[in-house]
Amino acid sequence: MTTVAAYAAPAAKAPLERTTIERRAVGEFDVLIDIEFAGICHSDIHQAREGWGTAIFPMVPGHEIAGVVSEVGPGVTKYAVGDRVGVGCLVDSCRACENCLKGLEQYCLGGNVGTYNAVGKDGEPTYGGYSQKIVVDENFVVRIPDGLSLDVAAPLLCAGITTYSPLRHWNAGPGKKVAVVGLGGLGHMAVKIAHAMGSEVTVLSQSLRKKDDGLKLGADHYYATSDPKTFEELAGTFDLIISTVSAPLDFGAFLSLLRTDGALVNVGAPEEPISLNLFSVIAGRKTLAGSGIGGIRETQEMLDFCAEHGIGAEIELISAAEINEAYERVLASDVRYRFVIDTATI
């Protein structure tokens, strides 16, 4: 075991503070990673504050991890000391179910192991990326291509793959009109990736406050959803709408913006159940769907795609001492567009 410095929430809703945690000894197929950067995802805050139900404390959040391999187990074949690598939301899965065998570990039927706030197969709680080192099985590690800086690559491990996966699955690309609802951490990645895939991209945001940013990030059009004329003008326009917001939407109104056979895919989820008139999907054979992160193979594909297209996240680099303040700013939507912790400051 190795003792490493970390930032942890000692209890639900308590501010995060510096502490130490134990990492397991490097096993046969394990990789020890010196973490350099860790992104702050909105779901870190939900979990540290038990917004999604009972959680495990102390909690070291962080599932947007970028660093460098510093030790490998004797059975490791994929990575060597010095490799630039990342870890996302999963550190293990059953590896045997239908979904795992298809590379869809995020939908593991036997239950996957989250990077933090979960219990590993060794029975110990998992601790995330707000720390200086992590030990992960090589099968749940991805390679960060040389063309990508580690700081802007970190958020790709959650925000990047969460938007890349549905864009791929629903065939975004040339000739396709894609709308992105919400321009936050996830939304700004959706815009960049959909644009790089060759789609015509429209941002649907509550206001026009971030319009200049949206256009710079790669959007072709930008509309305010607070303006009822937007829904008249864009009726029947899109092949695919990716909703990144967790506020409750008027799903009927957004479904009316789809063409026949179009899909509205949610990667953000409102906490409350929705009610929907099903004629919104029957008329026009539309799909209302959801999508969660991505598998390991697809995460690697996404990183390679982002490197090839020069895509990283737009980040604000912070020190560990600024984590609690950053949480408040995320809740106030006051970040453009992802906080990333320099873990050397932990």
Q: Which residues bind Zn ion (CB under 5 A)?
A: 41, 43, 93-94, 97, 100, 108, 110, 158
In angstroms, give the least distance from the CB of 92 to Zn ion.
10
Task: Name every residue whose Cβ is closer than 8 Å to that of residue 216 and which is 6 or more positions away in sequence.
Answer: none
Closest CA to 23 of 7, 8, 47, 6: 6
Query: Shortest gap between Cβ of 96 and Zn ion (angstroms)?
Result: 6
CA 267 to chain centre: 9
**What's the closest the beta carbon of residue 181 comes to Zn ion, in angstroms?**
18
Q: Where are the beta strands (DSSP E) in 207-277?
A: 221-224, 238-243, 258-266
Nearer to Zn ion (CB atom), residue 100 or residue 179: 100
Euclidean distance between CA atoms 169 and 298, whole angstroms? 11
According to DSSP, the β-strands at 200-205 and 177-181 are parallel
> What residues does 243 pair with on adjacent strands?
181, 266
Q: Which is nearer to Zn ion, 43 or 256 (CB)?
A: 43
- Minimum distance from residue 341 beta carbon to Zn ion (Å): 14
Residue 110 or 310 having the CB closest to Zn ion? 110
Q: Write the CA distances from 249 to 110, 194, 225, 264, integer angstroms.
A: 32, 22, 10, 12
Alpha helix locations (H) across the chain?
42-48, 98-101, 150-153, 159-169, 185-196, 211-217, 228-233, 251-255, 279-282, 296-308, 323-331
Distance CA 334, CA 259 (A): 34
CB of 144 to Zn ion, least distance (A): 17
Question: Closest CB to Zn ion among 56 and 94?
Answer: 94
- Omega prior to 58 cis, within 30 of 0: yes
Smallest distance from Zn ion to CB 270, Å: 17
Helix ranges, 201-295 (H):
211-217, 228-233, 251-255, 279-282
C-beta closer to Zn ion: residue 62 or 218: 62
Complete edge-to-edge strand list for the sheet that includes strand 238-243: 221-224, 200-205, 177-181, 238-243, 258-266, 287-290
- Residues with Cβ within 8 Å of 270's Cβ and at least 6 positions away in sequence, in order, are 246, 247, 248, 249
Minimum gap (Å) between residue 186 Cβ and Zn ion: 9
Residue 254 DSSP SS3: helix
Q: Which is nearer to Zn ion, 97 or 208 (CB)?
A: 97
Tell me how far, at minimum, the Cβ of 313 lies from Zn ion, in Å.
12
Q: Which is nearer to Zn ion, 55 or 100 (CB)?
A: 100
Give the residue with the Cβ less far from Zn ion, 98 or 325. 98
